[in-house]
Amino acid sequence: MRWPTLPAPDGTGNVIDQEEVNRLVDYAIEHGVNYFDTAPVYVQGWSETSTGIALKRHPREKFFVATKMSNFSNSDYDFGVKMYHNSLKKLQVDYIDYYLLHMLGAPGKKGLEGRFLDNGLLDFLLKEREAGRIRHLGWSFHGIKEEFDKALALHDKYHWDFIQIQLNYSDWKHASGNNINADYLYSEIAKKDIPVVVMEPLLGGRLSNIPEHIFTRLKERNPEGSVASWAFRFAGSPEKVLTVLSGMTYMEHLQDNIRTYSPLVPLTQEEKDFLEETAQLMLRYPTVPCNDCKYCMPCLYK
C-alpha cells in the first residue's frame, strides 16, 4: 500500500499520516486482507516504520508482511545485512514472512551476481530462511529479460519460494519501455511451479485513468463494477498467483478492491478476449511508461 502523507509541520516536505494508515490497516484486516508489502526505500524511507506501527496493534498471526533488500545503490555485504536487521526492527517483528531481492533486472543497476552472489548476501539470506527468520525468500523483477532468465534458472539451486512480477491486461502482451510481456514472465515461472506475487495490476494507475470511450466500453459491460475491478480480476485470475498488490492510499480504493475479491470471480476466456481487445484500443494512446515508482528520478522524460 502507498501510505497517505500530510505536509510536514515544519514545511519541509511530507510525513506519513499515521492515523490514516492505522485506519486503513484496521479496515483491511477486519475484511480479510492479510498481506502487507513494504520496503526500506518506500515513502522516503518511512514505510517500514509506519507499517510496523500499524501492524503491531494486531495479533501476529493475522498478517503476513513482505519487505525487501533494496541494495541497488550499495551492494556492500555489511550494508545489506544492516538493512535486513533494520527491517526487522522497524517492522517490530521477529521474522519476515516474505523477503525479496528487490528489483532484479533494473536497467543501469548491478545484477544478481553483483548485488547478492559475489558478496555473499544471498548465502546470508538463505541461512536466515533456514533459521526461520525468513519464511519465504524470493525476488522482484524489473526490466532486463536476461536477468530474469538467469535468476529463474537458479531455482533448482536456491529454491525460490515466490517471484514478484508486473502483470496486468495491458502488459500481458503489449509491454512497453523497460517492461517485458507478462505472459512470458508468468508462463516461465509457472513451468517451475513457483507462486507469483503480482505488482502493478493497474499499471501505475493508468488502467483506471483511461480514455472516455474505453471507460464507457468497460462500464457498459459491467455497470456495477469499477473500471479498476477489471484489472484486478485479470491480475488475480492466473492459477499460480499467490496475491495481488495494490498501492491503496485512499479508503475508497481499499473498499473497492475488497469488493472485487470478496470473492474473486476469475475471468472467463471470453472476458479475457474482451480485455485483450481493450488493451489493443489503448495502444492508440501512447503514454510515458511510468508506474510512479520514482526509482528513476529525476525523470528521464522531462
Q: Which residue carries 517471484 as its cell? A: 163
Strand, helix or coil at 218? Answer: helix
Chain length of the chain: 302
Q: Which helix (H) or strand (E) holds 172?
A: helix 171-174
Q: What are phi and psi of 193, to 5 degrees?
A: 60, 40
Q: Which residue carries 528513476 as its cell? A: 296
Q: Is the pTM of this model over 0.85?
A: yes
104, 147 contact by CB (below 8 A):
yes
Q: What pLDDT sits at residue 25?
A: 98
* Closest to 125 in 3D by CA, of 74, 69, 67: 69
Buried b (16+ CB within 10 A) or exposed e, 251-265: eebbebbbebbeeee
* Closest to 71 in 3D by CA, of 127, 140, 128, 152: 140
pLDDT tens per residue, range 182-222: 999 999 999 999 999 999 999 999 999 999 999 999 999 99
Query: What's the rounded Cα separation, in Å, for the pair 247 and 267?
Result: 22
Query: What's the rounded Cα separation, in Å, for the pair 30 and 39?
Result: 24
One-letter amino acid at 18 equals: Q
197, 166 contact by CB (below 8 A):
no
Q: What pLDDT sits at residue 188?
A: 99
Furthest CA-CA distance within the chain = 56
Question: In terms of DSSP bridges, do strands 14-16 and 5-7 run parallel, antiparallel, or are they unpaired?
Answer: antiparallel
Q: With a cut of 70, which residues of the chain have pLDDT below it?
A: 1, 286-302
The 8-class DSSP code of residue 180 comes to -
Q: What are phi and psi of 137, to 5 degrees?
A: -115, 130
What are the strands, taking DSSP E only, across 78-161? Answer: 96-104, 134-141
Angle between helices 251-260 and 18-30 (to 10 degrees): 20
Query: What's the rounded Cα separation, in Å, for the pair 78 and 108?
Result: 22
Q: Which helix (H) or strand (E) holds 182?
A: helix 182-191
Q: Check if CATH label 3.20.20.100 holds for domain 5-282.
A: yes
142, 151 contact by CB (below 8 A):
no
Q: What pLDDT sits at residue 79?
A: 98
pLDDT tens per residue, range 251-295: 999 999 999 999 999 999 999 999 999 999 999 986 655 556 555
Buried b (16+ CB within 10 A) or exposed e, 149-183: eebbeebeebebbbbbbbbbbbbbebbeeebbebe
Which long-range contacts link 81-87 to residues 24+ away (Cβ below 8 Å)? 81/121, 81/124, 83/40, 84/124, 84/125, 84/128, 86/40, 86/48, 87/40, 87/48
Q: Which residue carries 484486516 as its cell? A: 29
